[in-house]
Structure 1
Amino acid sequence: MSYTELDVAVLTASGTQSTAIANALTVAGASVRALTRATAPLDSSSALAATLEGADVVVYTAPLDYTPAVAEFAANVAAAAAAAGVRRVVYNANTRIPSESTGAAGFESRRDTWQILTAGSVPVTAVEPAIYLENLLAPGVLSAEPVGGGLVLRYPLPAQVPVSWISLADLGRVVAAACTQGRPGEIVHPGPPAITGQQLADTVATTLGVPVGFASVDPAAFERGLGIAIGAGPAAGVASIYHWLAEHPDSRAMSPDPGRRSVWLPSPTPIADWVAENLTAAGSLGLPPR
């Protein structure tokens, strides 16, 4: 089925990830229903089924909820998709999920959701991005070095952990491709080759023409700051990923798995190109123009 024949319902569509997904589907030519939790309630399978009636594909991005309610949401999505006659569910887990059990809500709530969705009758494809490049735009992540000039990239990752940094636009294109080409039960790992924090800083430095260092932030401090923005509960769920990575600095959980690099995945945007497009105004980062 071509994109022009597709009716795609994008759930939890008020967030930046779902917005990028809806935009990519619209550009591809699909008919898109961008549904928020107000218009497509996740806590009622019957109400959700009525909203999904006539949709060919449902895209479900896991919400910033790490309570037991996420299992109910997943069960309702699976039941509603079946009741509405949906042909395919594409699940954006919004993180890589390590193969081993972690005890981290940020990972395990997403693993539980995948297991519940795949237990339903509608075929499911999962997209597991690692970490978004747009996080570099958050306040305090890239800031001017007070001594010596240049910038410091501060992020709650051990220096040696390799990450496949992906842009939201690339996430959107991958999910859009999964709507037509993803296989039942398939889990894909999109994004460019994984690099360490210092390698990312070096890429930013080369692109901007200024020195950039990398500093590993304590996940507890990151969690406190994030809690101010999104609330303590969601912040704890997000930060649990970084706590686990800090405790497992040799993990390659955020690196691509060659076995999950499907031929239909769009080519990722080079990180330097994203930096050039989004971080070129050095003055906005507290540096004098050069």
Structure 2
Amino acid sequence: MTSVIHGATGAQGAPVLAALIARGHTPVALSRGGAPIPGARSLAVDASSAEQLTAAYRGADAVFVHLPLGAEDTRLELAHAVIAALTSARPGRVVISTSGAIVDAPGTALQVAPESALATLIAGATASGIPTAVVAPRLFLENLLLPHVQAGVREAGALRYPVRPDFAVSWASHRDVAEVIVALLGDPSVTGVLGVGAVPPVTGPELADAFAAALGRAVVFEPVTPEEFGRQIAPLLGEGPAAGVAGLYSALSVEPDFTFDPATGAEARLGVAPSDLVSWLRAVTAVTPAPDEAGDGAARG
């Protein structure tokens, strides 16, 4: 199977690429620089060029696409280039990640506008007649690894995040999303939108309990305001993207939860379940259970 992976060196593309390589495939890795990646065929591509994308897609069994963060007019340009390339090259399958944007809650304030770049991309890919699946995670667990979030956990035993304590979220890791994408790339019979993440969803205090189990010491949940969270991430993302993140959490503050119908989820439709939260935390934070679990009475993380 030949799969073309957009953003192959990024947070979403890289895990997909790694999972395909681990399964013995030789995927085509698209990136701006075309840096060599062992086990893949790397291509430097201008994603706004329909001609370059068409050449990359031609003869492919499947294509994975997600739109990068950035100005909406730039994202629209990219969406139109991808649609034109799909229509011309006719790969066997396309899988799109929403990257956390909402496309399966019509009638709510969270639903992306029909004229948005993401909605345009999904509509264009679907209209092409190519079997199209849309992977729809909610919040990424990797957000909990941001430096200021980790500092609160490790230095103060407090998981500080901008959601209500009772607000339940279907959290998913990039690895969870990648496993679903890989399954979909090889199965064009599954189309439409698939939710990815924890079922049942997880509240802030339950997240803190998972951190406590992974670190072997007490961790409590402390909500912060979206505005404060935005200020904390501005040095990492820039003022504009940080304001967008703060806006998302402000919008979520009036919602009852942030999840999806389990019947439309990847576990129900594909049999691909999300990772165990405590095991994931232990792996990504490179921590071991506290020594007192082994009987020496001291705690470390």
After TM superposition, the score normalised by the length of structure 1 is: 0.84
Classify 1:24/1:106 alpha carbon distance in 2 versus 1 (closer, same or farther; 3 Å): farther
Query: Are residues 1:74 and 2:79 paired?
Result: yes
Instruction: Indicate if the aligned counterparts of 1:163 and 1:196 stay in contact, CA closer than 8 A.
Output: yes
Distance 2:232 2:66 in 1: 24
Q: How many residues align?
A: 277
Q: CA deviation at 1:22?
A: 0.9
The residue matched to 2:222 in structure 1 has which SS? strand
Instruction: Indicate if the aligned counterparts of 2:82 and 2:121 stay in contact, CA closer than 8 A.
Output: no
- Range that drifts further, 172-181 or 111-120: 111-120
- Tell me which residue corresponds to 1:18: 13
Instruction: Indicate if the aligned counterparts of 2:101 and 2:112 stay in contact, CA closer than 8 A.
Output: no
The residue matched to 1:127 in structure 2 has which SS? strand
Q: CA deviation at 1:101?
A: 4.5
- Tell me which residue corresponds to 1:48: 53
Q: Matches of residues 152-171 of structure 1 in structure 2 within 5 Å?
A: 152-171=158-177
Distance 1:131 1:215 in 2: 18
Q: Given the alignment, which residue of 3, 6, 10 partners 1:8?
A: 3
Query: Are residues 1:206 and 2:206 paired?
Result: no
Q: CA deviation at 1:32?
A: 0.6
- Tell me which residue corresponds to 1:118: 126
Q: Which has the higher contact order (CA 8 A, sep 6+)?
A: 1
- CA-based RMSD of the aligned residues comes to 2.8
- Tell me which amino acid in the other structure corresponds to 1:136: L
Distance 1:106 1:240 in 2: 16
Q: Matches of residues 73-112 of structure 1 in structure 2 within 5 Å?
A: 73-95=78-100, 97=102, 98-102=105-109, 109-112=117-120
Classify 1:277/1:14 alpha carbon distance in 2 versus 1 (closer, same or farther; 3 Å): closer
Per-residue CA shift, 1:194-215, capped at 9, x if unaligned?
A: 1111111112213322111112
Instruction: Indicate if the aligned counterparts of 1:93 and 1:129 stay in contact, CA closer than 8 A.
Output: yes
Classify 1:197/1:267 alpha carbon distance in 2 versus 1 (closer, same or farther; 3 Å): same
Q: CA deviation at 1:170?
A: 1.5
Distance 1:245 1:121 in 2: 34
Q: Given the alignment, which residue of 9, 16, 27 partners 1:32?
A: 27
Classify 1:118/1:206 alpha carbon distance in 2 versus 1 (closer, same or farther; 3 Å): same
The residue matched to 1:154 in structure 2 has which SS? strand
Q: CA deviation at 1:144?
A: 4.7
Percent sequence identity over matched residues? 29
Q: CA deviation at 1:106?
A: 10
Query: Are residues 1:270 and 2:276 paired?
Result: yes
Classify 1:40/1:240 alpha carbon distance in 2 versus 1 (closer, same or farther; 3 Å): farther
Q: Given the alignment, which residue of 175, 188, 195 partners 1:189?
A: 195
Unaligned runs of 5+ in 2: 34-43, 291-297
Per-residue CA shift, 1:66-118, capped at 9, x if unaligned?
A: 41332221221121022122111100111151333527879965344323332
Unaligned runs of 5+ in 1: 1-5
Distance 1:234 1:12 in 2: 19
Instruction: Indicate if the aligned counterparts of 1:106 and 1:238 stay in contact, CA closer than 8 A.
Output: no
- Tell me which residue corresponds to 2:39: none
Per-residue CA shift, 1:188-244, capped at 9, x if unaligned?
A: 112222111111111221332211111222222222333322223333334432221
Q: Given the alignment, which residue of 173, 184, 195 partners 2:179?
A: 173
Instruction: Indicate if the aligned counterparts of 1:106 and 1:240 stay in contact, CA closer than 8 A.
Output: no
Classify 1:192/1:238 alpha carbon distance in 2 versus 1 (closer, same or farther; 3 Å): same
- Tell me which residue corresponds to 1:3: none
The residue matched to 1:94 in structure 2 has which SS? coil
